[in-house]
Amino acid sequence: MTQEKRINSFPNFKLTVNDMKVKPTDIHLLALFSANKDALPLLSLHRWSGSFLNFLPLLDLLRSKYTPGTLPYHVIVPSLPHYGLRRSSGYRTHLNMLAPRSPYEILDQENLTQAEVEHVQRMYDFSVTGSSSILEQGLRPSTICFVLLSSSFAKLARIGEKFIEWSDSRYPLPLDTALALVGFYWYTKTYPRSLYLYHYIAEAEASDVLFAVPTSREKSFGYSVFPAENILVPEAGAKQVYPDLAFYERNEKQSRVRQPG
């Protein structure tokens, strides 16, 4: 099955939402809706440099295991603003992760477990040797955009490197999967606009408001930690900053960069 046929084998939706605060917003999503009236909604969010394609294996698994009547979830996989088949949301701020301002902020925290100490070291290594793309995309997004539009090999080198370094080395990403993710952005020519988010991040960081978003402190949510994540908020610190944190769970398996959802 080609990747296009695989994508089209799932229900795809493009909707226009009339938001009262901003202009009408176009939304793209894949979804498996359950016929079970007690099914729980499950929102699965990708991140840069991924896309909704990250979750096709999950949808394949659920479709093979359940019927619409027995599926316990409504699984919704949107394209995030500026990514792939989704344009701007109209909102200036979008945040779907927890992060300290810097790894140094948590080095002096007490009650760190051994696993967290090792994870902090990974985060420190990432900040020193693996985060230059954040500066490049934040300060000179147009330059790298034109480069990546000029060559499919340039795009493969750019994104492929992240798949190697940011994935759990115990579960290497299959070559076909990596090529599908890179090919999606090449054929749709939509990858450059995803980089401009980092320009706004650079502005926010310069104003010291990068993660000063109160919504996540007002709503109850859970937080899952995976061993290959480049960013970590230790459990004690997360509970202190987010009083409505419903659960904090450390998982030992991760096949790709994962987002809380």
Q: Token match 């030992």: residue?
A: 252
Whole-prediction pTM: 0.74
Residues 55-60, mean pLDDT to the nearest whole number? 92
* CA distances to 1, 33, 148 from 59, in Å: 15, 11, 30
Position 257 confidence tier, pLDDT thresholds 50, 70, 90? very low
Residues 6+ apart with CB under 8 A from 152: 182, 183, 186
Flag whether pLDDT at 150 surpasses 60. Answer: yes
Mean pLDDT over residues 181-190, rounded? 85
pLDDT of residue 71: 96
Highest mean pLDDT of the ranges 43-47, 110-114, 147-151: 147-151
Residue written as tokens 């500066």? 135
Give the helix/strand (H/E) hosting 74.
Answer: strand 73-78
**How confident is the model over 253-258, as a mean pLDDT?**
48
Judging by beta carbons within 10 Å of its beta carbon (0-12, 13-18, 19+), is residue 82 exposed, middle or buried?
buried
Mean pLDDT across the chain: 79
Q: Which of 28, 86, 30 is nearest to 58 (CA)?
A: 30
Model pLDDT, residue 89? 54
Q: What is the DSSP letter of 174?
A: P
The single-letter DSSP state of residue 52 is G
Q: How far apart are CA 131 and CA 99, in angstroms?
A: 14
* pLDDT, tens digit (0-9, with 9 covering 90-100), for 230-255: 878 888 878 877 778 888 888 887 53
Indicate the helix (H) or strand (E) that contains 146.
helix 141-150
pLDDT, position 260: 35
Instruction: Give the residue-averaged pLDDT of 152-179.
Output: 84
Name the band, by pLDDT with cuts 50, 70 and 90, for residue 66.
Answer: very high
User: Is residue 202 pLDDT above 80, yes or no?
Assistant: no
Looking at residue 3, its pLDDT comes to 85
**Residue 186: which pLDDT band, with cuts at 50, 70 and 90?**
confident
Q: What is the pLDDT of residues 77-97, one digit of tens each?
A: 998 877 776 665 555 555 556
pLDDT recorded at residue 261? 33
> What percent of the chain stands above pLDDT 90?
16
Q: Specify the pLDDT at position 101.
A: 56
| Higher-scoring residue by pLDDT: 226, 204 | 226
Q: Identify which has the larger pLDDT, 194 or 226.
A: 226
